[in-house]
Amino acid sequence: MNAARPSLDRNLRHRLGIVAVLFCIAGLLAVSTDSFATAANLTNVARQVSINGILAVGVTFVLLTGGVDLSLGSVVALSGVVCALFAHPGDHSLAVPISMGLLTGALCGLLNGVLVTRGGIAPFIVTLGMMTVARGLALIFSGGKPVADMTPALTHLAGDWGPLPIPVLCFAVVALMSWLFLGRFRLGRHLYAVGGNEQAARAAGVSVPRVKLFAYGVCGLLTGLAGVVLAARITTGQPNAGQAYELDAIAAVVIGGTSLSGGVGSVLGTILGVLLIGVINNGLDLQGVSSYYQAVIKGVIIVGAVWLDRRQSRS
């Protein structure tokens, strides 16, 4: 028999691989620049990755079921706009804009889920449609202009809580809860089962539509959260915000070892993927690489990381 290694070992080795790459790049940057290994810069990196991190954790749920969500970026913009519309000073208490933003995201996600499960339409198509619709709605609701005049109570959410930036805290809480959920909860186990073999999961008594609906719903909710955090950070609801955010998020998840065909992956891997992309972005900034070249380098790294992983798993 071919001595294929157990998949759990493979996941572990994969993660160790990313950690090693992460440390190599960080070490290189620490040596080659004065500014990388400073508390200020590292906090900055954490702050920069937090929005992509929240999105990546959310889309991990969908990718695990074997689906995909291309609407993240547009839904971020729509949720931000809706949040900002309710966030003019003196209008409502802080809870209203935040929950409206979250609700917008969750509704978009659930609608994706319903169309995928009930409508039987491919996730790629459904979320491609949602990507356009949500962007259009963001422009309609905002009248095409940034929704300004935001209450300071909301913009403070982009600030610090003690020594920690609040967006980073949000990312950490989301990641921790998702990690616990996927590892310890029955529904989390079902996500892996559905992604691993949908027919078999159904035959084993798993309610496949419910599981998928849940995955898209969670992804939408977290996208709404990312939208609120982004709006707070840029102090406006920007209808054009979040362009191509879905690509960075999906890239982070895939670098983290989650299979695009579903059933394999983890939140831990996603976090490592997010950090890797964040450190690379920061490093390229610090080295003064032009953003044109940055795009090329990032693309090469994404494909290279996945290629290495596939080669390793085949050997």
Partner 1 sequence: MLRAFELTKFFGGLPVLQRAYIEFHPGEVHALMGENGAGKSTLLKMLAGLYQPDAGIIEWRGQPVRFQSPHDALSQGIAMVHQELMPIPDLNVAENLLLGMEPVNALGWVDRAELHRQARQWLQELNTDLDTHQPMRRLSVAQMQVVEIAKALARQADVILMDEPTAALSDHEVTALFNAINTLRRGGVAVVYTTHKMDEVFRLADRISVLRDGQLVCTKAAIELSPESLIAHMVGRELSQVFPPITTLPGDVILEVSNLTRAPAFRDISFTLRRGEVLGLAGLMGAGRTEVVSALYGLHAADSGTIRLHGKTLGLTTPADGLATGIGMLTEDRKGSGIIPALSMQHNLTLTALRQYCHGGVIDATAEAAVTQKATADFAIKASGPGQAIQQLSGGNQQKVLLARALLAAPAVLILDEPTRGIDIGAKAEIYALIGRLSAQGTAILLVSSELPEILSLTHRILVLRQGELAAELDPRQTNQEEILRHAMPQ
For partner 1, which residue of 44, 207, 235, 294 counts as binding (CB under 8 A)? 207
| 124-183 residues near partner 1, rule: CB under 8 A | none
Beta partners for residue 165, in sequence order: 160
Evaluate the CA torsion angle 111, 117, 120, 126 in order and state its sign: positive
For partner 1, which residue of 44, 155, 196, 306 counts as binding (CB under 8 A)? 196
Q: How far apart are CA 67 and CA 51, in angstroms?
A: 21
Q: How far is the CB of 35 from partner 1 (least distance, A)?
A: 43
Q: How far is the CB of 38 from partner 1 (least distance, A)?
A: 41
* Residue 47, SS3 per DSSP: helix
Q: How far apart are the first and last CA of the chain?
A: 14
Q: Which residues contact 86 (CB under 8 A, 6 or more apart)?
A: 92, 96, 97, 100
Q: Do 246 and 59 form a contact (C-beta atoms < 8 A)?
A: yes
Nearer to partner 1, 88 or 202 (CB): 202
For partner 1, which residue of 39, 186, 288, 290 counts as binding (CB under 8 A)? 186
* CA within 13 Å, CB half, 306: 14
Burial of 6 (0-12, 13-18, 19+ CB in 10 A): exposed
Q: How far is the CB of 312 from partner 1 (least distance, A)?
A: 16
Burial of 150 (0-12, 13-18, 19+ CB in 10 A): buried
For partner 1, which residue of 217, 263, 273, 278 counts as binding (CB under 8 A)? 263
For partner 1, which residue of 7, 38, 132, 243 counts as binding (CB under 8 A)? 7
Examine residue 217 and tell whether it contacts partner 1 (CB under 8 A).
Answer: no
Q: How far apart are CA 108 and CA 79, in angstroms?
A: 9
Nearer to partner 1, 211 or 249 (CB): 211
Nearer to partner 1, 199 or 290 (CB): 199
Examine residue 184 and tell whether it contacts partner 1 (CB under 8 A).
Answer: yes
Q: How far is the CB of 204 from partner 1 (least distance, A)?
A: 5
| 30-49 residues near partner 1, rule: CB under 8 A | none
Nearer to partner 1, 180 or 308 (CB): 180
What the block records as the tokens of 206 is 């798993």
Nearer to partner 1, 206 or 229 (CB): 206
Quick one: which H or E segment has residue 44?
helix 39-64
Examine residue 6 and tell whether it contacts partner 1 (CB under 8 A).
Answer: yes
Q: How many residues bind partner 1 (CB under 8 A)?
A: 26
Q: Which residues bind partner 1 (CB under 8 A)?
A: 1, 4, 6-8, 184-187, 189, 192-193, 196-197, 199-207, 259, 263-264
